[in-house]
């Protein structure tokens, strides 16, 4: 061993050993082994997307309350700047948070890493059916929806009366919507504004009876006459100038356009109520349900659920924590702090009484369509958005044809 080369060789061997150790031990354990469960007081990590201080504080308070009652458990609340990225990191490293918020649009790709506990909760039937559907995969409810929001139509009441419109003119269908937008479009402002993505334009597809995917999300249904009807209506609205995308009128999004009075009507979600109070307290407005399309009423729902990691060592405790967060009173407390709607129907009446201005959003709960939950559809829908942004110049038929092709490819058919 006195050969001069022995040291480099030892160094290389040592480095190799080190690499092997890091690769096999520590963060990279094989996930096929089920996590051993630990009973008693737990130390839980809970990750949410940080939407602002109010939500973080509310969740911290709620978890602290549970921890105090649980006899020695601790909960660490982590507010993620980039939830999908941080969750992916956790799963890849084999150390995900025990409980985490999962956005519906990402749900399916996380399902394999989640504990499908949804069917075992006592309040399963109390959850809104559309939300249950969103988080069901292969017949199993994977996680319970923590809250939800829907889209509705906000109307600037001052501009409404100035245009000579009354309560009788509140649009109930597409024709009335177009007529009202026409009357509200003046030199100073445009009649209707909505964001230029699938998350708003999609509502018109639903109202026409369409959607890019079938109910099981197994087949592409983009190039149907229903979708064409919906998209053509959007194109016509934009082409006639009675509706505009926010960027066309110098606003970052529809909330800004509506708040600044650049648009008299806006298609927006629950979060707008809080935004208006905070940023534009002087604007007078009311919210009504979205007008029905040829296939009836339709809106979109946006939701997240409480996921539990399959790898968690404290699954029982995690379930108890989720149960605590899902108590109707707790849901109402969340609703109060950050403007979401309770996902349990038993909280509906009380919610209506406390938040009358949210009635139109809540009314949408029954006709709401959940988002696409397949992650592999993400690039397809981003491309769809890019096409939507080129309306009214683009051809709806062509857009849907491309969507159909891309969706079919993404579904692997």
The residues of the shown chain that bind other proteins, judged by CB under 8 A, are 4-5, 7-8, 11, 15, 18-19, 22-24, 28-32, 82, 84-85, 88-89, 91-92, 94, 109, 112-113, 245, 247-248, 250-252, 375-376, 378-380, 382-383, 386-387, 389-390, 393, 406, 409-410
Which residue in 102, 99, 109, 82 sits closest to 145, CA to CA?
Answer: 102
> Which CB atom, from 188 or from 393, has the smaller least distance to other proteins?
393
Contact 189, 263 (CB under 8 A): yes
Q: How far is the CB of 177 from other proteins (least distance, A)?
A: 24
Q: How far is the CB of 357 from other proteins (least distance, A)?
A: 28
> Which CB atom, from 36 or from 166, has the smaller least distance to other proteins?
36
Q: How far is the CB of 11 from other proteins (least distance, A)?
A: 6
> Which CB atom, from 41 or from 250, has the smaller least distance to other proteins?
250
> Which CB atom, from 179 or from 249, has the smaller least distance to other proteins?
249
> Which CB atom, from 112 or from 175, has the smaller least distance to other proteins?
112
Q: How far is the CB of 158 from other proteins (least distance, A)?
A: 22
Rounded-to-integer distance, Cα 127 and Cα 124, Å: 6
Rounded-to-integer distance, Cα 139 and Cα 127, Å: 16
Pairing of strands 263-269, 190-193: parallel
**Tokens standing for residue 160:** 């409404």
CB neighbours of residue 61 within 10 Å: 13
| Ordered DSSP codes for 215-270 | TTS-SB-TTSHHHHHHHHHHHHHHHTTSEE-GGGGT-SSHHHHHHTTSEEEEEEET
- Rounded (5°) CA angle 258-372-209: 75
Q: How far is the CB of 174 from other proteins (least distance, A)?
A: 26
> Which CB atom, from 18 or from 69, has the smaller least distance to other proteins?
18
Q: How far is the CB of 37 from other proteins (least distance, A)?
A: 18
Q: How far is the CB of 90 from other proteins (least distance, A)?
A: 10
> Which CB atom, from 251 or from 264, has the smaller least distance to other proteins?
251
| Ordered DSSP codes for 381-408 | HHHHHHHHTTTTTS-HHHHHHHHHHHHH
DSSP single-letter state for residue 72: S
């Amino acid at each position: 061993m006195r050969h001069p080369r022995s040291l480099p060789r030892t160094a290389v061997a040592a480095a190799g050993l080190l690499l092997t150790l890091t690769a096999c031990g520590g963060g990279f354990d094989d996930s096929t082994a089920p996590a051993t469960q630990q009973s008693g007081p737990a130390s839980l990590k809970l990750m949410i997307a940080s939407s602002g201080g109010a939500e973080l504080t509310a969740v911290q308070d709620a978890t602290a309350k549970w921890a105090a009652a649980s006899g020695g458990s601790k909960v660490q609340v982590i507010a993620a700047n980039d939830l999908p990225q941080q969750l992916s990191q956790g799963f890849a490293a084999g150390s995900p948070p025990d409980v985490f918020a999962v956005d519906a649009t990402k749900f399916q790709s996380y399902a394999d890493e989640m504990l499908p506990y949804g069917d075992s909760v006592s309040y399963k039937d109390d959850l809104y059916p559309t939300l249950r559907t969103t988080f069901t995969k292969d017949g199993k409810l994977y996680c319970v929806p923590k809250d939800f929001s829907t889209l509705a139509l906000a109307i600037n009441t001052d501009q409404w009366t100035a245009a000579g419109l009354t309560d009788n003119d509140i649009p109930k269908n597409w024709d009335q919507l177009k007529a009202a937008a026409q009357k509200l479009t003046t030199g100073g402002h445009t009649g209707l504004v909505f964001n230029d993505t699938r998350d708003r334009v999609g509502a018109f597809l639903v109202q026409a009876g369409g959607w890019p995917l079938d109910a099981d999300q197994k087949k592409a249904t983009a190039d149907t006459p229903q979708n064409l009807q919906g998209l053509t209506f959007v194109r016509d609205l934009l082409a006639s100038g009675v509706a505009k995308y926010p960027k066309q009128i110098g606003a970052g999004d529809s909330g800004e356009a509506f708040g600044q009075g650049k648009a008299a009507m806006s298609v927006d979600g629950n979060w707008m109520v809080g935004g208006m109070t905070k940023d534009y307290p002087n604007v007078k407005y009311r919210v009504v349900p979205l007008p029905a399309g040829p296939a009836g009423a339709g809106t979109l729902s946006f939701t997240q659920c409480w996921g539990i990691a399959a790898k968690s060592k404290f699954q029982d405790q995690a379930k108890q924590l989720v149960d605590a967060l899902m108590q109707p009173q707790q849901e109402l407390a969340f609703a109060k702090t950050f403007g979401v709607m309770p996902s349990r129907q038993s909280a509906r009446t009380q919610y209506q009484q406390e938040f009358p201005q949210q009635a139109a959003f809540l009314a949408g709960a029954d006709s709401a369509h959940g988002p696409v939950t397949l992650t592999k559809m993400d690039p397809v829908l981003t491309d769809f958005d890019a096409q939507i942004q080129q309306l009214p110049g683009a051809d709806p038929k062509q857009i849907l044809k491309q969507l159909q092709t891309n969706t079919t490819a993404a579904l692997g058919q």
